[in-house]
Every structure is written in C-alpha cells, then in structure tokens.
C-alpha cells in the first residue's frame, strides 16, 4: 500500500510520521505538498500534527482551505482512508469530515505527556489489529484537545461506535483524573459514520520505538496496513 503525509505550512510532525512509516514500519510513504492537488495514489492520507498556519484564529481553521484538502475531501467521500493526528484531527473537524470540534484544554495550558487510551471499537480499518478494549500508551502534546460536540451528536457517535479511543487510567477506567484535557466523554479520537476517516489527539507516530516512548502507536498503523493486505 502507499501512504501520503500532507505538509501544510506549520506542520511539524509530518517528518516524524514519514519516519515512523518509512524507517520503522518500512512502508512506501511520501510527503504531499499543500499547494498541490495530487495525492500521488496514496491509499491512506495522513494529516499530521503541528500548528498549521500557526493555528491562528482556530486550530486547523485555515489549513482546510488549501488545495490539497479539496482532494482529501473528495478522496474521503469516495471511501479513501484518512487519518488525522492532533492538528490533523482539528483540520478534519474544521473541514466537517468529522463531527465535533476541539477547543482549549480545561487547564488552558499546553500539555505534553503520555496517556493511556482504550480502544473502543476494533471493527474499523484503524483499530482492527487491537484487541477489544486494549489499552495503548501514547503521547499527547496539544493546547487545544478538548473534544466537544452537542449532546445529540455525542449520543449519535457513541451509539454508532464512532468513538474509537478514549482516555482512561492504567486500569482502563475513564475517570476525570485520567482525562488530560477535559474532553467530553473522555473522547480521544473519533471516526466518521462510514469509518474511513479517523482523527485522534494522541500521537501514534511518536510511539513506534521502544527507546522513544514505547510502541503503542504501532497498533494503529498496523491496523491500516492489515486493511490493505
């Protein structure tokens, strides 16, 4: 399979994602430039973390208007796999490819630390390699990761199983103390209705090597790879 990682102005983890895919997972992956429209035959497009356009105004608000996003949107509408990490998640929400929005952390400050998330639904291309309710250790690093959606919307996405990962404590319980940013329902990542678009605040690309914060992120990438096997 082939991966495309989008570089927006201000993207930061684009190179890290490329490194995780190419050097660690030995995948065929390439950067996609925001001013272009060509997805270069990618089977999965990753919108990486960072501060696209400085995150001025709102996180992800400006990136969604770049030329590449027109292609990403139609790719997604055709069922193509799109993974948004951190800023990529914010962009997907702004582009209305995912429900809800991400706002300032409850603490109002940027948080960089490792969290535990529980995989809530393993019947998706992004989570199929995980065991039901498997716990993954992943880093977060964001100032605006508080997931919000209207009550109706929340009920719908919960009922349909669109919440793919949730912040939990080390024993797997979704407590307030284990919720690093105050997200509603402790939501760390959601998929769209057809489960081909997935956004999450934690960074799987920063958890692919034992020496650098463990391998919790491999489950996500391996799931996607399995979907194409």
Partner 1 sequence: MRVKVYITPRRGVLDPQGRAIEASLKSLGFNDVGPVRMGKYIELEVAAASPAQASAEVRRMCEQLLANTVIEDYRFEVEDA
Partner 2 sequence: MSHNPVALPGEPEVNLAQALAHGLSEDEFRLIRNHLGRTPTFTELGVFSVMWSEHCSYKSSRRHLARLPNKGRLVVGGPGENAGALDVGDGWLAVFKIESHNHPSFVEPYQGAATGVGGILRDIFAMGARPVASLNSLKFGSFDNARTRYLLSGVVGGIGGYGNCVGVPTVGGEVMFDAAYDDNILVNAFCLGLARKGELQSARAQGMGNPVLYVGSATGRDGIHGASLLASAEFDASSAHKRPTVQVGDPFTEKLLIEACLEAIKTGAVVALQDMGAAGLTSSSAEMAARGKLGIEINLDQVPLREPNLTPYEMLLSESQERMLIVAQAGREHELQAVFEKWDLHAVVIGRITGDCRWRVSWRGLLVADIPVAALAEQAPAYERPMARAAACTPPVRVVRERPAPAEALRRLLDSPNVGSKRWVYRQYDSIVQSNTVMEPGGDAAVLRIKGTRRALALAVDSNPRACALDPYLGAMAVTLEAARNVACVGARPIGITDCLNYGNPERPEIMWQFARGVDGIRDAALALETPVVSGNVSFYNETQGRAIPPTPTLAMVGMLADLDYCRSQFFRRPGDAILLLRTSAPALAASEYDALFGGGNRLGAIDLHKERELIDLLVTLAEKGLINSAHDVSDGGLAVALAECCFNEAGKFGASVEVGTPELDTVVNLFGEGASSVILSTPSDAAARVVQMATGRGLGCRRIGTVTSDPVLRIDSDIAIEVAELRTIYEQALPGRIQGHG
Of residues 113-152, those binding partner 1 (CB under 8 A): 146, 148-151
Choose which of 65, 110, 131, 173 interacts with partner 1 (CB under 8 A): 65
Q: With binding defined as CB under 8 A, does residue 100 bind partner 1?
A: yes
Q: With binding defined as CB under 8 A, does residue 182 bind partner 2?
A: no
**What separation in angstroms does the CA of 138 have from each of 41, 112, 183, 190, 220?**
29, 11, 16, 16, 11
Q: Which two tokens stand for residue 212?
A: 């650098």
**What separation in angstroms does the CA of 56 have from each of 63, 119, 143, 156, 228?**
11, 32, 13, 31, 37
Q: With binding defined as CB under 8 A, does residue 177 bind partner 1?
A: no
Judged by beta carbon distances under 5 to 8 A according to partner kind, the member of partner 2, partner 1, none in contact with residue 9 is partner 2
Nearest partner of 200 among 106, 91, 85, judged by Cα? 85
Q: With binding defined as CB under 8 A, does residue 94 bind partner 2?
A: no
- Kindly tell me which of 105 and 121 has the beta carbon lying closer to partner 1: 105
**What separation in angstroms does the CA of 201 have from each of 147, 169, 181, 209?**
9, 17, 10, 19
- Kindly tell me which of 15 and 128 has the beta carbon lying closer to partner 2: 15
Judged by beta carbon distances under 5 to 8 A according to partner kind, the member of partner 2, partner 1, none in contact with residue 146 is partner 1
**203 classed as catalytic:** yes
Number of Cβ within a 10 Å radius of residue 114: 15
Q: With binding defined as CB under 8 A, does residue 139 bind partner 2?
A: yes
- Kindly tell me which of 15 and 106 has the beta carbon lying closer to partner 2: 15
The CB-side HSE value for 151 (13 A sphere, CA atoms) comes to 0
Of residues 17-56, those binding partner 1 (CB under 8 A): 53-54, 56
Distance separating alpha carbons of residues 143 and 87, to the nearest angstrom: 10
Distance separating alpha carbons of residues 87 and 50, to the nearest angstrom: 6
Instruction: Catalog residues that contact partner 1 under the rule CB under 8 A.
Output: 53-54, 56-58, 61-62, 65, 93-94, 100-101, 103-108, 146, 148-151, 182, 184
Instruction: Catalog residues that contact partner 2 under the rule CB under 8 A.
Output: 9-10, 12-13, 15-16, 19-20, 23, 50-51, 53-56, 109-113, 139, 141, 143, 203, 205-206, 211-213
């Amino acid at each position: 399979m082939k991966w495309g990682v989008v570089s927006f102005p201000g993207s930061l983890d684009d190179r890290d994602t490329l490194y995780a895919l190419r050097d660690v997972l030995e995948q065929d992956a390439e950067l996609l430039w925001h001013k272009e429209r060509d997805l270069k035959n990618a089977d999965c497009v990753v919108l990486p973390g960072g501060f696209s356009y400085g995150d001025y105004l709102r996180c992800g608000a400006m990136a969604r208007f770049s030329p590449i996003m027109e292609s990403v949107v139609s790719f997604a509408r055709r069922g193509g796999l799109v993974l948004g990490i951190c800023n990529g998640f914010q962009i997907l929400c702004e582009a209305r490819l995912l429900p809800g929005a991400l706002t300032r952390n409850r603490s109002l400050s940027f948080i960089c630390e490792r969290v535990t998330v529980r995989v809530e639904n393993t019947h998706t291309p992004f989570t199929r390699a995980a065991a039901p309710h498997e716990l993954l250790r992943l880093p977060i690093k964001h100032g605006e990761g508080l997931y919000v959606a209207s009550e109706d919307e929340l009920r719908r996405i919960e009922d349909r199983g669109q919440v793919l990962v949730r912040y939990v404590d080390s024993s797997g319980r979704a407590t307030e103390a284990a919720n690093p940013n105050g997200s509603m329902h402790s939501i760390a990542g959601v998929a769209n209705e057809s489960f081909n678009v997935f956004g999450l605040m934690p960074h799987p690309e920063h958890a692919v090597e034992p020496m650098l914060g463990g391998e919790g992120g491999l489950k996500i990438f391996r799931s996607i790879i399995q979907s194409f096997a």
